[in-house]
Amino acid sequence: MEHRYLGNSGLKISEITYGNWLTHGSQVENDIATKCVHAALDAGISTFDTADVYANTVAEQVLGDALKGRRRESLEIFTKVYFPTGPKGHNDTGLSRKHIMESINGSLRRLGTDYVDLYQAHRYDYETPLEETMQAFADVVRAGKALYIGVSEWRAEEIRAAHGLAQELGIQLISNQPQYNLLWRVIDAEVIPTCEELGLSQIVWSPLAQGVLTGKYKPGHPLPEGSRATDDKGGADMIAHYLDDETLTAVAELEPIASDLGLTMAQLAIAWVLANGNVAAALVGASRPEQVESNVAASGVKLDAEVLARIDEALGDLPVKDPAETKSPETRIV
């Protein structure tokens, strides 16, 4: 497992980071989730990403239990705040000082740790002054409850404004967590150049496009039983827009490219996002321990310019690149 610096900080994280978004506390049983976390540790993954909203706080609890007894100093634990949790009351969402302060305490309790390495704003809150949000984050850092601050799915101008306030407050805003994969490249035009300038890295989610880039979904074929596309707990909704014949036919063109390199299609997709110098880590989840072991093999894989060109030719105009697709909810969701 290779490690990369996160932004301009001195923090190193594993370039394959384990995320428990659509699995822990939701799609897989807790004992299997624990086996997946242990498989990640055995494979050299040291960085684990979650959020309070995942499975309405249960995912944090599952991750905390799975990491119990491990040396805390050898781990990097990330979580997030924004979306509604608990009974979803009128203050149980957003980036107000009240919600941030209450949420960090709940996250630490569920994770079984005194601090998180990275505390992330899960979306931008248009109903709370940014100054209030950043002051709250600064106080969380000064209280020793988080070491660094990050954001997720923020636009370039929002990242720039937050970075300026972070500098004034004396805290480190070091990362953005966007969706990024071969089919979804909306951060390329504006977010990545801004982050390169300001010293932030990307921790990208959905590098496998919800599993579409693994090649398991074939055009004209029934959906595989037990796959995310057949999951009625949220997985099917997230993947549906990728399952048209045009997309699946183009994705199938990646198979010979991966084969020529001795890679699986999943490993090729992960290696592709890691080929971007502004990407510090690719977030991968798992519903089985063997998936972790396979995905980790993408660490250290280098793709040359010829391979990257072949990939672009295979996908043509299919990838979404409009920076306007980076967006947060206009109003808080309760």
Going by the DSSP 8-state scheme, the letter that residue 24 receives in this structure is B
Place of tokens 């119990």: 68
Q: How far apart, in Å, do the first and last CA atoms of the chain sit?
A: 40
pLDDT of residue 32: 87
Compare 86 and 307 and report the one with higher pLDDT. Answer: 307
Beta strand pairing status for 116-121 and 146-151?
A: parallel
Flag whether 214 is in a domain.
yes
38 has pLDDT over 80: yes
Q: Is 332 within the bounds of a domain?
A: no
User: Residue 91: its pLDDT value, please?
Assistant: 94
Strand partners, 175: 150, 201
334 falls within a domain? no
Q: Would residue 330 count as lying in a domain?
A: no
Work out the pLDDT band at 30, boundaries 50, 70, 90.
Answer: confident
Q: How far apart are CA 137 and CA 119, in angstroms?
A: 8
Let me know if 54 is a catalytic residue. Answer: yes
What distance in Å separates the CA atoms of residue 167 and residue 231, rounded to the nearest whole number? 43
- Tell me, yes or no, whether 333 lies in a domain: no
Report yes or no on whether pTM surpasses 0.85.
Answer: yes
267: containing domain: 3-325
* Catalytic-role residue among 5, 18, 54, 82: 54
Assign residue 142 the CATH number of its domain.
3.20.20.100
What is the count of structural domains for the chain?
Answer: 1
- 160-209 tens-digit pLDDT: 999 999 999 999 999 999 999 999 999 999 999 999 999 999 999 999 99
Contacts of residue 5, Cβ cutoff 8 Å, sequence gap at least 6: 11, 12, 201, 280
The Cα 65–Cα 31 span in angstroms is 10
The answer as to whether 299 is a domain residue is yes
Residue 331 lies in a domain: no
Specify the higher pLDDT residue, 297 or 225: 297
Domain assignment present for 11: yes
Helix axes 97-111, 130-142, angle to 10 degrees: 40
Q: How far apart are CA 192 and CA 200, in angstroms?
A: 9
